[in-house]
Amino acid sequence: MSKNILITGAAGFLGSHLCDRFIKEGFNVIGMDNFITGDAKNIEHLKNHPQFRFIKHDVTEHITIEEDLHYILHFASPASPIDYLKIPIQTLKVGSLGTHNLLGLAKNKKARLLIASTSEVYGDPLVHPQTEDYYGNVNAIGPRGVYDEAKRFQESITMAYHRFHGLETRIVRIFNTYGPRMRLNDGRVIPAFMGQALRGEDLTIFGDGSQTRSFCYVDDQIEGIYRLLMSDYAYPVNIGNPHEISIKEFAEEIIKLTKTHQKVVYKELPVDDPMQRQPDISLAKKLLDWEPKVGRAEGMAITYNYFKGLTEEELYKSAHKDFTNHIKR
């Protein structure tokens, strides 16, 4: 018999790709999203699929699922600075109340729960590259703290349920991931640079461009998440691409890829923006026999072609989404 899986944040970038992957694997997928940052377009192709059912719901409210559940993937959360700086309380709630609700659901259904944590739990790291046993360097009361601490709490309560209740849990620490279905104007560097190139604008670098990032193509990320869910390891695992590049070098790559002639302009670095971000994936290699396969040149070309296919309205849409209907408490 097919197994049932609940995926929260199903209309988001990673959530929608996870829906596709688990349907391909033969699962019955229940997608859940409240569209605070997700986009219904990302799951439109699944609307009439016999293995897919969608529930519009905020996971910070009580969750009721009639079917048996075998697995739960918790991917509901704002995931870019523009989002979680504009809706800080909702960001904290989805990482705390939302996670608590899903842990309770998993306990009731005897389901295995995987939570989407993040490299942001390492803050502005003093250890490089970052290994899973590094505790991080996080400013809990800074503007980014609402996301960083929500994810750190999410890990803590998940491990508490694992230890106290014997719940089957998995924790993936996701590093910078890119690919089709990213929001063009979500404030992260890849869609920001590509959007500026497509609109004929100068590319904006915050700081002097010496800060580094490591970019993982979405197909590789989804494969790592799938393998972790099916493993028997309960502690956090880094999933990301260890090939590091400076933001300045990356801007030059984008100009070359897009065949544009934009200038690069520099602006002040945001508060607590990490200077280095590179995963140590030794644990993922050992436990999951996983490492990224898609090179940056190949992945960026696919992503750029996706963005080129957007409508003019989407290309010029404001980055500041209207969250008015979601700001109640």
Nearest to 220 by CA among 114, 299, 157: 299
Q: Copy the structure tokens of residue 251.
A: 């801007």
Phi, psi of 156 (to 5 degrees): -65, -50
Parallel, antiparallel or unpaired: strands 212-214 and 244-246: antiparallel
By CB neighbour count within 10 A (0-12 exposed, 13-18 middle, 19+ buried), where does 317 fall?
middle
Q: Copy the structure tokens of residue 230.
A: 């099916």
Catalytic member of 71, 147, 178, 226? 147
CA dihedral 77, 80, 83, 86 (to 10 degrees): 120
Residue 230 in contact with residue 164, Cβ under 8 Å?
A: no
DSSP 3-state of 4: strand
304 flagged as catalytic? no
Determine the residue type at 76.
A
- Provide the 10 A C-beta neighbour count for residue 143: 14
By CB neighbour count within 10 A (0-12 exposed, 13-18 middle, 19+ buried), where does 118 fall?
buried
Residue 123 in contact with residue 139, Cβ under 8 Å?
A: yes
- Provide the 10 A C-beta neighbour count for residue 141: 8
Helix residue ranges, H only, 67-217: 81-86, 88-109, 145-165, 189-199
Alpha-carbon distance values, 105 to 59, 133, 266 (Å): 11, 29, 47
Nearest to 37 by CA among 158, 136, 181: 181
Active site residues: 147
